[in-house]
Amino acid sequence: GAVVSQHPSWVICKSGTSVKIECRSLDFQATTMFWYRQFPKQSLMLMATSNEGSKATYEQGVEKDKFLINHASLTLSTLTVTSAHPEDSSFYICSAITSSSYNEQFFGPGTRLTVL
């Protein structure tokens, strides 16, 4: 299957700083990427949908000015958590689909963010 990578796999930062997480489709072009967030012992919650070359669509309750998403190429989307706070500590997961993919969504391994 197609491979999606994320970098970094984990990050620890101080409160008030910004953190950038990268999501890459390694062997296919991803017209659409999704960003999910998962708190401990909870299920994945969709944060936003990112389409290459256009603005991301955010889910209700997700602050677009705090979670900046850029999808500048067909293989890379980035999520920047600005002015991070301890409550932003979570497991962030991206996924990607291609225009020809009907059946499966390819997930990255996730990024563990801890804000001190």
Q: Which residues, in sequence order, are bridge partners of residue 77?
A: 23
Q: Which residues, in sequence order, are bridge partners of residue 69?
A: 79
Residue 37 Cβ vs other proteins, minimum distance, rounded to whole Å: 11
Cα–Cα distance for residue pair 116/110, rounded to 1 Å: 19
* Residue with smaller CB distance to other proteins, 50 or 75: 50
* Interface residue with other proteins, options 7, 29, 91, 114 (CB under 8 A): 91
DSSP state, 40? T
* Residue with smaller CB distance to other proteins, 3 or 72: 3
- Here's the x/- map for other proteins, 4-43, by CB under 8 A: it reads as x-x-------------------------x-x-x------x
Q: Calculate the dihedral angle through the C-alpha atoms of 107, 111, 112, 114, rounding to the nearest 10 degrees.
A: -140
